């Protein structure tokens, strides 16, 4: 699992959309799909990115998780601690 380079070492909060975060993770991880992840958020903050993996650590579809993906826009991605 690779974190997109544009999201590593953030020094300041970054305005993002759930669609842009999904696209960046898919670009960084070519076998990943939107059906294999969910973007988590609260009212204005991106709180996490969930990725579904098989026992063999391969990306797998997980509709029950992906269906709950955040669709609020815009979101604020906090810098890493």
CA angle at 13 for the pair 12 and 18, rounded to the nearest 5°: 145
Q: What is the pLDDT of residue 33?
A: 93
Question: Whole-model pTM?
Answer: 0.89
**Domain assignment present for 9:** no
Look at residue 28 in the predicted model and tell me its pLDDT: 97
How far is Cα 25 from Cα 44, in angstroms, rounded to an integer?
20
Whether residue 37 lies inside any domain: the answer is: yes
Range of the domain at 32: 16-77
Residue 8 lies in a domain: no
Ordered DSSP codes for the chain = ----GGGTT-SS-EEE-HHHHHHHHHHHSTT--GGGEEEEE-SSBEEEEEE-B-TTS-B---HHHHTT----SSEEEPPP-
Domain count, the chain: 1
| 1 assigned to some structural domain | no
User: Quick check: 71 pLDDT over 90?
Assistant: no
10 located within any domain: no
pLDDT in tens, 32-63: 999 999 999 999 999 999 999 999 999 999 98
In this model, does residue 68 exceed pLDDT 90?
A: no
Domain-embedded: residue 41: yes
The pLDDT of residue 60: 95
First to last CA, the chain: 20
């Amino acid at each position: 699992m690779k974190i997109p380079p544009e999201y590593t070492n953030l020094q300041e909060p970054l305005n993002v959309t759930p669609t842009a975060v999904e696209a960046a993770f898919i670009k960084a991880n070519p076998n990943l799909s939107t059906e294999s992840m969910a973007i988590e958020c609260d009212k204005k903050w991106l709180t996490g990115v969930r990725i579904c993996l098989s026992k063999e650590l391969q990306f797998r579809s997980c509709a029950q998780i992906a269906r709950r993906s955040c669709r609020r826009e815009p979101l604020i991605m906090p810098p890493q601690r």
